[in-house]
Structure 1
Amino acid sequence: MACARRPSKTPFDAVRKSGTFLAVFVTSLCCCLVAVFFLVQRQAQVEFSRLENIILAQRDDLKGDISGLLFKTRALAALVVHSDGHVADFDDVARYLAHTRSTDVLALAPAGVISHVYPLKGHEALLGMNLLDFPYGEASAASHDHNGISVFGPLQLPDGTTALVGILPVFLKDDAHQGQFWGTAFIALSFPQLLDVANLGLIEKQGLSYDILSFDRHKDAWRPIAASARPFDEDAPHLNMPLQIFDANWQLRISYNQPWHGFFENWFYIFSATLLSLLLASLAQKNRDLAEAHCRLEEMVYNDTLTGAFNRRGLFHTMAARAAEGQDKKFILYYLDLDRFKDINDTYGHNAGDRVLQHFAAVIQSVAPQGSVFARMGGDEFILVLFSTDTDVQMTAGLDRAAATLARGLPHEGLPESILFSVGRAGYPENGQTLDELLSRADKAMYLDKERRRRHTRQVARQGCAAGCR
């Protein structure tokens, strides 16, 4: 954008004279007070950020501990595979695996029917339970499909206990080395005692409320499976953290409730609102000056100071910006070069040469269609880009008009010689896929045009000499 020059004043003087200081101060103070209001409302979420690492660590501990316990089914499966389907030393292996208090039951179910249970005492009702029946059948079928542990529950077992169930299919290779379903390894983890491994009580000590939700595959809905003593408040600021344990989807939700005046930060926000408003008001003029300076700097970076057209960097920047916006339709690139420009500089001086360049740029831009891009590549070389092929014919006629205008020179400025130029043309995408390729193609075409003009000039000169000699 164009930047108006301003007198050299301090930001405070300029703002006070224009009344901007007061306007910015009042506006920013109102905004700050509104921001303080929302900061107070969102203070709980700020506390979440402070406690997030602790909570995430507890969630990861919970996931790791539960997953580690469920992995014990793999040891049972290995026992079956090692004994080629004949369950041996089950009690000894299960006794070793079930040394933690969270492990309630370990079992093996050949063909899906539980036949081995540890510890058997108190869990006799599990014997003969068919894991292919509802509700365990769904988990068994799912685990059979992906050959992994499937998690179900927490649910109530036939022995009256509530547990989180893990089921792992066991496969034995037949003579053709194909996996044949043998049955399943089964583990039941007592619930909610299982959650003690994560020490969720620490969350409550931080003044938080929590609950854990499990996705019920049958009802296609979330259901709570554990909660803190203080009820979870969905209307209060809260944080949801997904907890994936094999194929079981859980959510750990945490809410924080505390009066706004219990936070020192809130009082600090209110105290600093006025000071911040004063600072913003004093910076308003400085920001305006910086914006104007940035505008002038951008003009220096992307524009040719002599002709006002884009420079090489400005051309590439503009074309790259159009490409980034998806404007990659056909366009035409003209490469324009002044003829005998060095002779003008040598004869009339560099100031005259600069004036020729300015005049040439002004004439070409006057005949260029709206929306085209005009740039000076350096020296006496220019680029014109048309983004509509419909204007190609019009541009050819426009270049003819420009050539006629330039041929008159600048006699009123002491430059009576004709200003001539050569043109090379390249189209996207038929003549190149990149801007460099198009520039190279148009440059070669321009030099062919220049050479044609030279041959024509020499021919005319020879004919004139021959006529004079006669």
Structure 2
Amino acid sequence: MAVTLHVGQLVRSELVSQQKRSATAGLSEVRARLEGEFSRTVAHGLGIRAYVAQFHDRPFEAADYLEIASELIEENSAIRSIGLAPGNILQAVYPLKPNQAAIGLDYSQNKAQWPAIKKAMDSREVVIVGPLELVQGGSALLIRIPVFPATVPGEPMETRSYWGVATLVLDEAETMAAAGVKEVVDGIRVAIVDKNLASPVEGPLFGSAAFQDKDYISLPLHLPGGLQWELLGYPDAGWSSAAKEVWSANVVGGAISLIFVAMAFLLVSEVYKVRAMALHDPLTGLANRRLLEDRMRQLVAMAELSRAGFEIFYVDLDAFKPINDDYGHSVGDQLLIEIGDRLQTQVRQMDTVARVGGDEFIVLTPGNMRTEQKDSFLARIHQSVTQVFEYAGAHIDVKASIGSASFPGDAVTIDDLLRVADGRMYADKARSKQKSRKFQGAEASPAG
């Protein structure tokens, strides 16, 4: 009887653990979407930073940045405004009309805003603060991006001179909506807390404060800018441990061994599933950012012995959101799967293709390439990715922007290497848009 009761308790515990594993898998998808949304927005800010480098050696003109700022705000509905402050004095805000009064603000004299600006300057890294309640209404995060333009190509970050700071005002509610974060996901109530807060009684950033009295599960969010957020989940009615398996375990004592073997098998299967989900993208089956960075760290460690570096290629689909809007998310998902397959056909078995965001992929190739090899590989990737996609009667012209970076030639840390490739990808995106507008303008101009 004692053994039977013990097995019954094990079954109860396993039922709860199984529910928690299932809930953790669901929260992992929420986490991936939210991390991807933040990374995408910060990448937009880094694009602004790369764009500033074109004009850093001449007097500041707000009009030089109007076009790219307008495009970024239009592309990302969560961005409420973009501000540029050369020398830490705000000289341009987009859109201007609701924010005109802020022009001329000297951040160094503003006690509320200066600490984050100073931290970004000293660390030379992106700093995110908030959420803060805005005078215009709503809650927003302030993304502070320090700008250190290179005076010569390849100049190390630590020797560059400070130009100023770019600020993205990110609407919190819009960001959550864009990432598909809801208060209830598959029956699990979701909350987000800031681990930097002194006490949880200050309340969550998102969701209900009732989590304090619940047996919740938690996942850390890997967000840029120094944010220390944690994702929590719990069912309203608590984890259920009442099922016929428990009754069977208590009644059929002779089947204890069989039940125990079945439980062990299920447990091992679930562990393997969770491990696989933690390292691979659930939609495409490709490596995710975590697995990609782990392999990059391995190559960095090997490079110290072999002196052999590696290359990364950052691939971003252009105008992907309109595809989802026009054809539906099922077509968009199939396109992402197809892009992953296309990239896989262009790489070797030792290479890694990873999906690191909604429509962003990275190809990792061990070993450094000569210039002509890299150009040839870039051309093959671009030609493969931009082939017409046909699905369910839809014919879609696929466009993409690609940026590359070499280790250790372009950067000696993984984060810096990713930033270099990301910046070059956005520079490629800007060039493509500029060529497209020139081409359209030439077609529209009268002959003669």
| More RCO (CA 8 Å, sep 6+) | 2
Higher Rg of the two aligned structures: 1
Given the two structures, how large is their TM-score scaled by the length of structure 1? 0.47
Given the two structures, how large is their TM-score scaled by the length of structure 2? 0.49
